[in-house]
A and B are shown apart, each in its own frame.
Chain A
Amino acid sequence: MPPFPGSVAPFAFETMDLSSPASASISKTIPASDAGDLVDLVRRDQSALARIYDRFGSAVYGLSRQVLKDDGLAQDVTQEIFLRLWNEPQRFDPERGSLRSFLLREAHSRSIERVRSEEARRQRESRSEFRDRPVPLDIEDDVLKSLTSDEVRNALSQLPEGERSAIVLAYYGGHSYREVASVLGAPEGTIKSRIRSGLLKLSSLLDDEGSEAKP
């Protein structure tokens, strides 16, 4: 297979012959849709950003909304993420995963930053008040009901309660493991271990069900 095989207008994305010695270090191929949009994005083609938004806007907004529990803040974070992608497309490193993964991680980390800065502000304003967000224990039921993936919900439901609570509160609740420990009344070391072991079990459960990450 030649290095640049075939010819399909306007762009064709091909993998190299992985059996060839010189390509032995190739670890993964960028999904064609990601690569095409990335190139167009660098060309400052707004329609590329629109396509990316069509594909991933719901995921970014949904996760931000889940963590922030606030539609307005979730919209702010979503806008910030897509504007940042527009202005700095080179921040996307394909070695770290697909564009979807990159945007989801951005959504999560930016939402967490907002949560924590909001909490800091509230604590400054009212030292006696720990927070006025919903009681975290209530979040777990709400989160599980709201998940759009039966597969993920089923996998979470198979975890021991302590592991499930720790993961849900940390990931969807935006809490540090120390906060989770405080909320659940468990030692911090126990929560660290529960998060790790729970995620490893989820990995097996989700892989066992033959699930593929969305492109």
Chain B
Amino acid sequence: MTPEDQTRELLGAYVLDAVDDVERRRVENLLAIDPSARDEVERLRRVADKLGDAAESAPPAQLWESIQSAIDTDSSAHKPSGSTEPTSIFSSKRYRSVNKPFLAAAAVLAVFVIGGAIFAGVRQDENVPSTIAAMTAMANDAASKPGSRTGFLTDPGQTMTVQVVADAQGHGFLMTDPLPALPEDETYQLWAANNGTMISLGMLGSNPEMSMVPIDPSVTELALTREPVSGSVAPTSNPMATGSLA
């Protein structure tokens, strides 16, 4: 039996948390290079999830109160009276005037998983203050984390700037509100530029206010194009804005 076979034999025990740290690293090294091992682990994890579900038991009634109490204590500890808001890369203050009539419009938040990360776009004409605020909070949270990177996408004439932040886990956030609205049959599409090759990171919609896209930590150069609404495999137009992450 090869060392790889021996590691493969550990996949079941790995999924059940029944291996030691050295063995866990061995398995994770195998998973990094072996798609069939990843598939097997995914399959076994689904079984483990069902085993876990089968142990369901109602918690004591006071447990939620205890959790809530801990949250309240934590919140007051972190937000002393008179404290000021932290400085943010993204600001959502423009969206706080929720009494404007147009803000009552129904909202659509599309959330997808592309390549493992949340991809969400909120359309400008949907006026979703709470959602924008949520995404802004996520962006600011990401920007404050070690290993996060920031940058700007700008057009050649530098008439507009799109702020970008990407965290070390590959979550990317774009403040896309400066972008002009496109016709409904077009979409903005974000690309990673890598040695002349453009790799799609996702479509942002025709009039995105703010967008969440997966941005792998290896990506440094970004480009934005306008594409047909179904998106393109490769850019069909010159980038209207480009930028770098650092």
Name A residues whose Cβ lies closer than 8 Å to a Cβ of B.
2-17, 20-23, 25-30, 35, 38-40, 42-44, 46, 49-50, 53, 57-63, 65-66, 71, 74-75, 78-79, 82-83, 86-87, 90, 93-95, 97, 100-101, 104-105, 107-109, 112, 146-149, 151-153, 167, 170-172, 174-178, 180, 189, 191-193, 195-200, 202-203, 206, 211, 213-214
Contacts and interface: CB of A to CB of B under 8 A. Distances in A.
Contact of B111 (A35, A50, A167): A35
B242 interface: no
B54 A196 contact: no
A149 B12 contact: no
Most A C-beta atoms less than 10 A away, residue of B20, B45, B70, B206: B45
Contact of A17 (B43, B58, B230): B230
Contacts of B246: none
B141 A86 contact: no
B18 interface: yes
Nearest to A150: B54
Contacts of A171: 16, 18, 48, 51
A152 B50 contact: yes
A175 B13 CA distance: 10
A50 B67 CA distance: 10
Contacts of A178: 20
B88 interface: no
A2 B134 contact: no
B52 A108 contact: yes
17 contacts: A2-B184, A12-B109, A13-B110, A21-B230, A22-B202, A29-B113, A30-B118, A38-B118, A44-B75, A62-B55, A62-B58, A63-B52, A100-B53, A107-B52, A170-B18, A195-B12, A198-B12
Interface of B: 9-13, 15-20, 40, 43-60, 63-64, 66-68, 70-71, 74-75, 105-118, 121, 123, 126, 130-131, 133-135, 137-138, 141-142, 167, 169, 171, 184, 187, 189, 200, 202-203, 205-206, 227, 229-233
Contacts of A167: 16, 51
B68 A90 contact: no
A180 to B, nearest CB: 7
Given A13-B109, A75-B59, A147-B54, A3 B47 contact: no
B229 to A, nearest CB: 6
Contacts of B17: 108-109, 112, 174
Contact of A152 (B51, B107, B230, B232): B51
A200 B113 contact: no
Given A17-B230, A79-B70, A176-B18, A58 B58 contact: yes
Contact of A10 (B49, B71, B107, B137): B107
A133 to B, nearest CB: 16
By CB atoms of chain B within 10 A, which of A26, A176, A177 has the most? Answer: A177
| Interface of B (DSSP majority class) | mixed
Nearest to B118: A94
**Quick one: which of B10, B17, B232 has the most chain A CB within 10 A?**
B17
A3 B47 CA distance: 34
B63 A78 contact: yes
A177 B18 contact: yes
Contacts of A170: 13, 16, 18
A205 B61 CA distance: 36
A10 B117 CA distance: 23
Across chains A and B, which 5 residue pairs bring their CB atoms closest together, nearest first?
A: A22-B231, A196-B12, A95-B116, A62-B57, A149-B54
A11 B109 contact: yes
Contact of B67 (A13, A53, A172, A196): A53
B9 to A, nearest CB: 5
A33 to B, nearest CB: 11
Contact of A203 (B13, B44, B58, B232): B44
Contacts of A60: 59
Most chain A Cβ neighbours within 10 Å, of B10, B12, B17, B55: B55
Contact of A206 (B47, B108, B111, B227): B47
